[in-house]
Structure 1
Amino acid sequence: MAKPFSIAIHGGAGTILREKMTQALHDEFLLQLEASLCAGQAVLAQGGSAVDAVVSAVTVLEDSPLFNAGRGSVMTSQEMVEMDAAIMEGRAHNVGAIAGVRHIKNPIQLARQVMQDSEHVFLIGDGAEAFAFKQGYVFTEQDYFFTERRYEQLMRVRQAGQCALSESEYPDDDKHGTVGAVALDQQGNLAAATSTGGITNKQYGRVGDSPLIGAGTFAENGNVAVSCTGMGEFFIRKMVAGDVAARMRYLGEDVATACDSIIHGELKRMGGEGGLVAMDANGQAHFSMNSSGMYRGAIDTLGNMVIKIYADE
C-alpha cells in the first residue's frame, strides 16, 4: 500500500490587489500554479523523492514570466538579473544554495547540483556559474530573462529612488517575489526549495533570505519543511524557517501554530511583511501570511488540490 505524499507551493506574498487583477491574468496565475503542483505531484506519485518533486515544481514557476524567479526575475540597478536559490532535504540535512547567478535558466536545478555534486553547500556569483558550466549547464543570455514588465518596474522604482514600488501598475507590483515548494514523499522524506530574483533596483550584490538555510528555507524529517517569501532582511533577522522548526521540535507546536506565531507575531511587529508555506511530517500543509495575498496551492495526501491568491480566501 502506497504511503501518503503531498506537495505545496507558493509564488510570492505581499500586496496583491483585486482591483488591478484582470480575469485573464487571474486565470493565467491559476494555470501556472496548477502546472507547478502537477509537476511535483507526478514525481511523488511515481515514488520519486521529495527533492525531485520540489525541484520540478519550482522549475515550472521559474520558467514562467509571471513570477519573480528564473525567467520573470526583477532587474537590478544595473538592469541585470541576479538570482538566488536553495534546496534542503530533511533526511540527512543536505543542502545546496546559490546566489547572484546571471546566466542560469533554472537556478533551483543548480542549487540541487551543488547539494549533490559539490563538496560545498553555498556558491555565489562567478564561482557558482563556473561550477554550473563545468557540470554541463548552458550559458543563458540575459535577453532570456528580459520582460517589459520588469523593465517598467525598474524605471518606476528608479524615479522614486527606492528598492520598492511607490505605485502599482500590476496587481502584484508591491509583492515580495519568491517562489518555493515543500513536499513529503512516499519514503517519509521532507524537502524544501526556494528561488528568487530578489528585489527591483537592488545594489551591491544584495542577497535576501531565500538561499539562506534556516532563514528562507529549511527541512527536517519527522518535523517540518518550510519555504518563505517576504521582506528578506526581516526574515533573515528572525531566522523564520528555522524558528518554525524549533517551535515544533522543542515546544511541540503544530505546524499552523508555529507558523502563525512567527508570521503574525514578532515578524509583523518588526515590520516584516510576507508569508511562508510549511509541511509537517504527516503531509499537512499550512500557509501563513501577514499580507493581502500570496500565490499558493497544495495537493494533500488524499489528492485534493486547492489554489488561492488572496489572504481572505
Structure 2
Amino acid sequence: MSAPVTLLVHGGAGTLTRADLSPAQELEYRDALGQALRAGQSLLLRGASAVDAVVAAVSVLEDCPLFNAGKGSVFTHEGRNEMDAAVMDGATGQAGAVAGVVSVRNPVLAAQSVMQRSGHVLLIGQGAEAFAQSQGLAMEGPEYFHTAHRWQQLQAALAQNQVMLDHDGQRQPDQSKPIDRKFGTVGAVALDAHGHLAAATSTGGMTNKMFGRVGDSPLIGAGTYACDATAAVSATGAGEFFMRGVVAHDIAARMAYGGLSLAQATEATVRDKLDATGGRGGVIALDRQGHYQLAFNTEGMYRGLVQGNGPPQIAIYRD
C-alpha cells in the first residue's frame, strides 16, 4: 500500500514560548501555516508533483509578512532585505537556488526557474535578479519588503551589536517590551502521489547580518536536500552551523550508508551536528513511506503537516 500524499512546512525555530504570543497572534500564525498546507495539499490531491507542492506552500509563506522570507524578510546591517531560496527534486536530483536577491517577490519561484531553465544550480545577486526578470517573475521595489516591525528588530539588534536569529532578537534590550514575534525562515517538504519527494526553503537570513552574507537555505545539502532513496529535508536556524555540518544531507547520508530510519537519522544529526556544536534550530524531514520528523533543539518551531485529504495539524511550542 502506497503512502498518502504528505506535506510538512516550517516557519522558523527559536525562542518561542506561550508567554511570547497573544492568542490573536498565535491564531495568525496558525492560519498562515494552514493556508500554506492547504495550498500544497490541494495540488498533491490533484496529482501534482512534490516540487509544485513545496513551491506553492513556500510561496504562500513568502507572501505573508509574519515570516522571515519574501515580504517579511529581515534587514541586513545596511538596512537592506537580501533573500535566499532553494528547491530540490528528489526524483531527478535536480536543484535550483538563488542568493542575495533584493527585488524578486517570490525567491522560491526564482529558485524553481533556476532548476528548470538555467542549466545551473545557484545564481546570486544581480545575475539572479536578471534571470528572474527574464523568466517573467514578479519584481518589487524595496518599499514592498520594508515592514515596520522588521525595521524595529534591526534597531534592537544594532543597539545590542548582535546578529540575531528571528526569535531571539524580538525584545528590547531591557526585555520588557516585545518588538514583534512575527518571524521565521520558511520551508516545505512533500511526498506526491507518484512516490516522489521534494524540498524547498526560503529566507531573509539573520537580522543585522553582514552585506552579502549567505546562509544555509540556498546551499544544497546544508539547508535543503531531497532524494527519493532517502529523504527530503528543509532546515531553519543558525545557518553557519547547518553549513558546517551539511545537516540536510547528513540526515540522508545516515539513512543511505548507515541504514538508519528517518527518525534515527534525524535524531543523530541534530545531536551530533547541532547540539554538540552549539547550533540552534530545527528540521522537517520526510521519506517515501510517509514517515516524517519535525525536530528542533529550541524552545519552539512554527510547524505543520497534512497527509492525504486530512486536516492540517499545526504546532508552535515544544510541548
Q: Same fold (TM over 0.5)?
A: yes
- CA drift of 1:166 comes to 5.5
Counterpart-to-counterpart distance in 1, 2:27 and 2:310: 22
* Matched ranges for 1:301-312 at <5 A: 301=308, 303-312=310-319
Backbone CA RMSD of aligned residues: 1.6
8 Å CA contact 2:3–2:288 kept in 1: the answer is no
Aligned to 2:267: 260
2:84 & 2:68 partners in 1: Cα distance? 11
1:76 aligns with 2:76: yes
How many angstroms does 1:204 deviate by? 3.1
Q: Deviation of residue 17 (structure 1)? A: 2.6
User: Counterpart in 1 of 2:105?
Assistant: 105
Q: CA deviation at 1:170?
A: 4.7
Instruction: Give 5+ residue unaligned stretches, structure 1.
Output: none
CA deviation profile, 1:31-78 (whole Å, cap 9, x unmatched): 000000000000000000000000000001001000000000001111
1:161: Cα distance to partner?
Answer: 1.2
Q: Distance in 1 between matches of 2:43 and 2:208?
A: 37
**Paired residues of 1:77 and 1:203 also in contact (CA < 8 A):** yes
Give the secondary structure class of the aligned counterpart of 1:136. coil
**Aligned residue in 2 for 1:234:** 241
CA distance in 2, matches of 1:171, 1:254: 38
Q: Is 1:181 equivalent to 2:188 in the alignment?
A: yes
Q: Percent identity?
A: 50
Q: Which amino acid counterpart does residue 94 of structure 2 have in structure 1?
A: N
**1:280 maps to which of 287, 302, 306:** 287
Cα contact 1:179–1:196 (8 A) shared by 2: yes
Partner of 1:122: 122
Which deviates the most, 249-258 or 85-94?
Answer: 249-258
Q: Quote the residue 2:300 is aligned against.
A: 293
Distance in 2 of aligned mates of 1:2 and 1:287: 22
Question: Match for residue 158 of structure 1?
Answer: 158
AA at the equivalent of 1:54:
V
SS at match of 1:97: strand
Alignment match, 1:269 = 276
User: Does structure 2 retain, via aligned residues, the 8 Å contact 1:89–1:191?
Assistant: yes
Trace 1:1-16 onto structure 2 (pairs within 5 A): 4-16=4-16
Q: Give 2:272's aligned amino acid.
A: G
Find the counterpart in structure 1 of residue 223 from structure 2: 216
* TM-score, normalising length: structure 2: 0.94
Q: Per the alignment, in what secondary structure is the counterpart of residue 304 of structure 2?
A: strand
**Paired positions, count:** 310
Name the CA distance, whole Å, in 1 between partners of 2:86 and 2:27.
29
Would you say the 8 A contact 2:153–2:179 is kept in 1? no
Change (3 A) 1:113 1:266: closer
- 1:264–1:289: 8 Å Cα contact kept in structure 2? no
Distance in 2 (alpha carbons) for counterparts of 1:305 and 1:90? 23
State the partner residue of 1:138: 138
- AA paired with 2:197? L
Task: In structure 2, give the amino acid aligned to 1:254.
Answer: S
The answer on 1:190 being equivalent to 2:197 is yes
1:4-43 → structure 2 map (5 Å cutoff): 4-43=4-43
